[in-house]
């Protein structure tokens, strides 16, 4: 049998061999490798995937119709028929949770996508062209940021009526500023690069430089912001639904379930626990994934070495052993 050191050396030789024989890894492969070793992020990915699958196959999984009112079975305790019981008007809680995931995830991803799209376009224009365009757009962002966005959401949804489309639109409209600032910031730096000058010299259009050359180099931070934006959008949706401004019955969402649960808190407080826990889990998963992606793309990222291993190294290699 080889000693541990020897096997380590063999392993290293193997690693080097593969490294030299194959083409260099792309940053995506490297990032994915780093992401995979981050167990929090991987856990988040597993949880999020599970929720996405539940949302997609809600019809197949859910034991009952989530909107079906069954007054004879109202307020049933958790048991054989209804695994998590029923609410005050006899709707199956588990089925409502399962269908509620659709709204939360859909809002989360649509809003994040919309905010990234809008924010990227505005940020790219501001950062690339600079000058008065930049000043005007930045002023606008300042105004948008300065106003408490929840108030604007409430105002619009209560006046124009709440439906799914308005909900998405207003959340996008109040959620793009972070991405815009980010993209503008990196474009301000990137546009001074020589390859931009070169591209201009050979007659590449502004549009192409912006979205073909510059945007590529700003992808990683945008992905991180987008991921974290998903969690934010899910939280916002739940808040608005809790105020009665989100999706309307018979459609169901976790925030709406909390709204109902709070109304009937005195008779059955447990109902408030499940939907909130679902929101919490989903957002936690999304945030862990976002942090994981950020760390995976961070070139300065340091792997934290356990104290025990440092002590072992010191014991083995340090000449000034005291």
Partner 1 sequence: MAEFLIRRVLQAVLVLFLVSIVTFGLMHLAPGGPIQMNIAPGQSPAAIQQQIHNLGLDKPVPVQYYEWLGRLAHGDFGTTFKAPIPVSALLWPALKNTLILMTTSWLITLAIAIPWGIYNSTRQYGLSDNTAALIGYAGFAMPAFWFGIIMQVTFSLKLDLLPLSDMYSRGQEGNIISLIQHMILPVTVLVVIGLAGYLRYARASMLDVLGQDYVRTARAKGVSERKVLFKHALRNALIPIITILGLDLPGIVAGATLTETVFNWPGMGRLFVDMAFAREYSVLMAITIMITVVVIAGNLLADFLYALVDPRVQVGARGGDV
Compare residues 199 and 275 and give the one whose CB is closer to partner 1: 275
Compare residues 64 and 123 and give the one whose CB is closer to partner 1: 123
Compare residues 22 and 146 and give the one whose CB is closer to partner 1: 146
How large is the C-alpha radius of gyration of the chain? Answer: 26
Quick check: 93 and 84 in contact, CB under 8 A?
A: yes
291 exposed, middle or buried (CB, 10 Å; 0-12, 13-18, 19+)? Answer: middle
Shortest distance (Å) from residue 172 CB to partner 1:
16
Compare residues 175 and 275 and give the one whose CB is closer to partner 1: 275
Shortest distance (Å) from residue 315 CB to partner 1:
22
- CA 273-274-275 angle, 5° bins: 105
Report the distance separating Cα 314 and Cα 312, nearest Å: 5
Compare residues 94 and 228 and give the one whose CB is closer to partner 1: 228
Token couple for 110: 């649509």
- Residue ranges binding partner 1 (CB under 8 A): 138-139, 142-143, 146-148, 150-151, 154-156, 158-161, 181, 185, 188, 231, 235, 238-239, 242-243, 255, 258, 261-262, 265-266, 269, 272-273, 275-276, 279-280, 283-284, 286-288, 304
Shortest distance (Å) from residue 122 CB to partner 1:
15
How far CA 234 is from CA of 3, 80, 111, 231, 240, in Å, comes to 53, 31, 9, 5, 10
Report cis status (omega within 30 of 0) of the bond before 95: no
Token couple for 113: 């996508």
Shortest distance (Å) from residue 257 CB to partner 1:
11
Shortest distance (Å) from residue 59 CB to partner 1:
27
């Amino acid at each position: 049998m080889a000693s541990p050191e020897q096997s380590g050396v063999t392993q290293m030789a193997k690693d080097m061999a593969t490294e030299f024989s194959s083409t260099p890894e792309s940053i995506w492969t490297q990032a994915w490798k780093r992401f995979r070793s981050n167990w929090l992020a991987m856990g988040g990915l597993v949880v999020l995937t599970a929720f996405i699958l539940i949302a997609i196959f809600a019809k197949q999984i859910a034991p009952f119709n989530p909107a079906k009112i069954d007054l004879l079975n109202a307020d049933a305790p958790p048991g054989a028929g209804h695994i998590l019981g029923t609410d005050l008007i006899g709707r199956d809680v588990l089925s409502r949770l399962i269908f509620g995931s659709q709204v939360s995830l859909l809002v989360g991803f649509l809003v994040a996508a919309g905010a990234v799209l809008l924010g990227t376009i505005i940020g790219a224009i501001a950062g690339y062209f600079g000058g008065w365009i930049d000043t005007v757009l930045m002023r606008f962002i300042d105004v948008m940021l300065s106003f408490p966005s929840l108030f604007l959401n409430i105002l619009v949804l209560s006046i124009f009526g709440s439906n799914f489309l308005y909900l998405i639109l207003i959340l996008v409209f109040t959620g793009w500023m972070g991405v815009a600032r980010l993209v503008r910031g990196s474009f301000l730096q990137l546009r001074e690069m020589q390859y931009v000058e070169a591209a201009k010299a050979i007659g590449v259009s502004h549009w192409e430089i912006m979205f073909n050359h510059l945007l590529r180099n700003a992808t990683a931070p945008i992905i991180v912001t987008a991921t974290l934006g998903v969690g934010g959008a899910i939280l916002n949706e739940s808040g608005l639904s809790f105020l009665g401004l989100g999706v309307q019955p018979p459609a169901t969402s976790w925030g709406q379930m909390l709204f109902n649960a709070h109304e009937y808190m005195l008779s059955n407080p447990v109902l408030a626990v499940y939907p909130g826990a679902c929101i919490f889990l989903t957002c936690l998963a999304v945030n862990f994934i976002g942090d994981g992606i950020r760390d995976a793309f961070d070139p300065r990222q340091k792997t934290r070495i356990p104290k025990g291993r440092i002590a072992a190294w010191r014991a083995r290699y340090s000449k000034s052993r005291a």
